[in-house]
Every structure is written in C-alpha cells, then in structure tokens.
Amino acid sequence: EPEVTQTPSHQVTQMGQEVILRCVPISNHLYFYWYRQILGQKVEFLVSFYNNEISEKSEIFDDQFSVERPDGSNFTLKIRSTKLEDSAMYFCASSDRAPREGYTFGSGTRLTVV
C-alpha cells in the first residue's frame, strides 16, 4: 500500500535554529498538507499546498513557517527560528482529487526545541 514517508522521525534543535522537516507524499497525489499535534492536544491544520503554491493556511502558519516542493517527490516544512512552543509532532499528509475519500498521513516527525 502506498505510504507517505517523513524524515527524520525525531529531531532535537536549539531555540532560534532553523529546521526543515521532510516528506515524500504518495506519488500520484496532488494535494499536500502539514498538520501538527502538540503533546496531549488535538491535531491542528497548518497548511495545504497544490500546484506549487499554498492553497490554505491556518493562523498558526505565520511568517516563520514556509513550505516548498523542491523537486518532483519531496515536500518540506521549514521553521525559520524555532521557539519552545514549536515542540510538537508534525504530520505530513497527501490526497488525490477527492479528499472526501480521506487523506494518507505519514508517521510524523517529533520536533523537540530545547
């Protein structure tokens, strides 16, 4: 079964540093997403991406965040200057033209900012 792959599985970074979280979506999917889950809280939408541009973003997705599809397979989330409150599990997801059928999520990257 096709999978969404995320790397690394766990990243520790110092406050103020830049981090890049990487994702390989399912190859024939067209829509890509990032969600985050702060420990013990609900899963929150960050951003969706289609046709090489952001299609939706939440209030959480401020200027310190950016997304990119640098080549035909990777989808990245960059956090420019990490804060302690950015510590969370970050999930990448992808979907085809019919997201009513559900999204496929990756297994997540646990980001710890110290």
CB of 10 to another protein, least distance (A): 11
| 16: three-class secondary structure by DSSP | coil
Q: Does 1 bind another protein (CB under 8 A)?
A: no
Q: Does 62 bind another protein (CB under 8 A)?
A: no
Q: Which of 48, 82, 87, 94 binds another protein (CB under 8 A)?
A: 48
Q: Does 105 bind another protein (CB under 8 A)?
A: yes
Which has the closest alpha carbon to 15: 108, 111, 109? 111
Scanning 18-26, 70-78, 79-87, 98-106 for contacts with another protein by CB under 8 A, the matching segment is 98-106
Q: What residues form DSSP beta bridges with 68?
A: 76
Which has the closest alpha carbon to 88: 60, 67, 69? 60
Q: Which of 23, 25, 75, 106 binds another protein (CB under 8 A)?
A: 106
Neighbours of 43 (CB within 10 A): 12
